[in-house]
Structure 1
Amino acid sequence: MASLMTSTIPEVLKHSKQNGQIDATPYIEEYSTFYQHGCESVEDRERRQSDKGKQMISSFYNLVSDFYEYGWAQSFHFAYLQKDEPFACGLQRYEYVLPLRMKVHPGSHLLDLGCGIGGPLRNIARFARCKVTGVTISEYQVTRGNQIIEENNLQEQCNIVYGDFLKLPFDDCSFDGVYAIESTCHTMFKSTVYSEAYRVLKPGCFFAGYEWCVTHKYDPNNEKHRQVKFNIEEGNGLPDTATTEEVLEGLKDAGFELVDAYDLAEFLDIPWYSPLSATFSLQGFRHTRLGHYVTHLSVQFLEKLGVIPKGSAQVSKLLMNAARDLVEGGKLGIYTPMYFFVARKPASY
């Protein structure tokens, strides 16, 4: 099994070297220092939302994108899973909900906020027969995502640009729809990011997405709850985690008319965190605990051989811990990555 893992990992991680990322050690050390261990204070929260925090998020995704692509999928998000179905099917269904609820027509032009390497935007472009532009703060993701778009001959429908979703590089009323899949959790300035979505959206069109939130079960006075929340944020490059009420307030402040909002995690037969805590599965060995461990050992071995960038093992360990903490937050019921919303920009704008 280890030979299977080592034969595949370099095919993904080699992209880091191809794009100039040779030694990840300085970045991961700076990242670890930035996220001081322990529960967050007001000062921690403010620091993580500063310009320096934004740089840390960019560095985080420069480091982890290849690991996500190999160990998860080209779509960096959770999914609505059903019994005995391939993992990829759950991911795609999770994405297809968006153009359906946004009433997207063929030929429409959509914007993907925080698009990663573009897995969702490519799937949605094919499914809805539309154009999709993605924006990400990670220069590495821009390079890798557009490379995959070209490999799939989707240049006519898809493209990824570098940009900050708090200050989008697009004109007013440019898009027929805007969506965000588990990406705007990387800012607590909800009113700002939602206002940018509102600005670039054409009147009468829709904004939809999935947000990471703490649930009504989260108790800020519970030490364990606070620690699990902090661990999730540290392991996933988050400044803080919003409540569902803050998400709704941000949409309202931006000017949107709320169409629908609910926590999809409350309606799942298979918990959202199952792929992170699964036992042995021939269909998804990389998603099992044993798979995580074997992958980590393989990364350590390959790093020593110089096949993959230095610091890769440290990144792997960070992501293993992140998976553990997300499972804990899910089991406690205090955390959800799939608070779903649909909002509309008034036609009279």
Structure 2
Amino acid sequence: MSRSGALDLATGLGGKIKKNEVQSAVEQYEKYHVCFGGDDDTRKTNYSDMVNKYYDLATSFYEYGWGESFHFAHRWNGESLRESIKRHEHYLALQLGLKPGMKVLDVGCGIGGPLREIARFSSTSITALNNNEYQISRGTELNRLVGLGDSCDFVKADFMKMPFADNTYDAVYAIEATCHAPDVVGCYKEIYRVLKPGQCFAAYEWCMTDNFDPNNETHQRIKAEIELGNGLPDIRSTNQCLEAVKLAGFEIISEKDLAADSPVPWYLPLDGSRFSLTSFRLTSIGRFITRTMVKTLEFVRLAPAGSARVSSFLETAAEGLVEGGRKEIFTPMYFFLAQKPL
């Protein structure tokens, strides 16, 4: 059900941004980042505008190239990317002990790919929190198409200020989403507040590893490329992430960088030096075709002006992610399971 055609990509590009304002939005988004003269403080102060612009601009590309679940996954030899993504979602559900009848919150849900998979796998009712109007409208449509319109819903809100009462949910999870938070302790405290005592929060976080050297110019460039291409105010270290969970009041049950022992490198789908028929659009040839197609669609005005620039910074992100993965200075799957004390 993912939008997979060229015209789907063109019509979806820009999300809720008016088509004649896409190029301006791209320019404003780029200026938040180091590569274009921006800084961490500006990104954190304006994180809501930055992240909303990012997902309006990038969601159509994500769905075209990746599918409905916008995340990486621990992957076994012989396992397809799609299979690994589903298993990654199932692993999260099993770690949380999700069972029928539980009320679950997905924090930063994208267009709801993980929500739909986890809801069907665990027979739970899931509320999806998202601050991007375009992704919510797209996710609501996809929920309806698979018959989850009544059991799962979307709420438009900022995860720094959730519109839920204290002690509402039986479980909370976040998949590569709270990396967008300008203040991760504040974000985790909000999750703590809405979670029932004795219940658990699980997450996959984007982090810099212990191998990252802040004084290394190459490492700094890679970090900046990942931030630019993924709408991030700043990428925290695994230690900073874990400390933030504790400061929010949680007790750590388990934590692990799942990328460290993944038999197949998590970044392999983005590696331009490999070829894959099942993930053809992510290969260097596939990305070249997409890039050419987007330029053509923009030239004939089927895609809005600025579309090719979005494609460009997403490719920069892919290159940064691959390089960060190879050097083992970045992980998109630092996993932790934490409990709110009784």
TM-score (norm 2): 0.94
Aligned mates of 1:312, 1:183 — CA distance in 2? 24
How many angstroms apart in 2 are the aligned matches of 1:63 and 1:39?
20
Q: 1:266 to 1:7 in 2, by over 3 A?
A: closer
Whether 1:332 and 2:327 are equivalent positions in the alignment is yes
Residue of 135, 148, 156 corresponding to 2:150: 156
Instruction: Report the alpha carbon displacement of residue 14 of structure 1 after superposing the two structures with TM.
Output: 2.1
Contact 1:21 1:309 in 2 (8 A): no
2:242, 2:13 → 1: CA distance?
Answer: 38
Instruction: State the shift of 1:280 in Å.
Output: 2.0
Give the Cα–Cα distance (whole angstroms) in 2 for the partners of residues 140 and 346 of structure 1: 36
Aligned: 1:298 with 2:311: no
Q: Which deviates the most, 6-15 or 223-232? A: 6-15
- 1:9 paired residue number: 6
Q: Which residue of the partner structure matches residue 48 of structure 1?
A: 43
Match of 2:261 in 1: 267
> After the TM superposition, which residues 153-192 of structure 1 pair with which residues of structure 2 at under 5 Å, given as runs?
153-192=147-186
Cα distance change of structure 1 residues 336 and 7 upon mapping to structure 2, 3 Å threshold: closer
Aligned residue for 2:19, secondary structure, equals: coil
Q: 1:18 to 1:165 in 2, by over 3 A?
A: closer
Segments of 5+ residues of structure 1 without an aligned counterpart are 1-5
How far 1:36 moved relative to its partner?
Answer: 3.7
Alpha carbons 2:31, 2:37 under 8 Å: kept: no
- Is the 1:188–1:241 Cα contact (8 Å) retained in structure 2? no
**Residues 45 and 239 in structure 1, CA contact (< 8 A), matched pair in contact too:** yes
> Counterpart of 2:23 in structure 1: which amino acid?
T
SS at match of 2:73: coil
SS in 1 for 2:225: helix
Aligned to 1:3: none
Residues 232 and 270 of structure 1, relative CA distance in 2, 3 Å threshold: same
> Residue 84 of structure 1 corresponds to which residue in structure 2?
78
Write out per-residue CA displacement over residues 72-109 of structure 1, whole angstroms, 9 at most, x where no aligned residue.
11111101122232221111111111111111111211
Do the aligned residues in 2 keep the contact of 1:177 with 1:205 (CA within 8 Å)? yes
- Please tell me the root mean square deviation across aligned C-alpha atoms, in Å: 1.8
Does the Cα contact within 8 Å between 1:13 and 1:67 map onto a contact in 2? no
Match in the other structure for 1:28: 26
Question: In structure 2, how many angstroms separate the alpha carbons of the residues matched to 1:94 and 1:18?
Answer: 28
58 and 18 in structure 1: CA distance in 2 versus 1, 3 angstrom threshold: closer
Q: Distance in 2 between matches of 1:219 and 1:38?
A: 22
Whether the aligned pair in 2 keeps the contact of 1:138 and 1:162 (CA below 8 Å) is: yes
Tell me which residue corresponds to 1:122. 116
Segments of 4+ moved more than 4 angstroms: 16-20
AA aligned to 1:162 is K
TM-score for both structures, normalised by structure 1: 0.93
**Which 10-residue stretch deviates more, 57-66 or 77-86?**
77-86
Measured after TM superposition, the shift of residue 20 of structure 1 is: 6.0
Aligned residue among 309, 312, 329 for 1:314: 309
Q: Kindly tell me the number of residue pairs found equivalent between the two proteins.
A: 338
| 2:91 corresponding residue in structure 1 | 97
Identity across the alignment (%): 43
How far apart in 2 are the matches of 1:19 and 1:49?
Answer: 22
Change (3 A) 1:55 1:19: closer
Structure 2 distance, partners of 1:280, 1:337, is: 22
Single out whichever of 241-250 and 118-127 deviates more from structure 2: 241-250
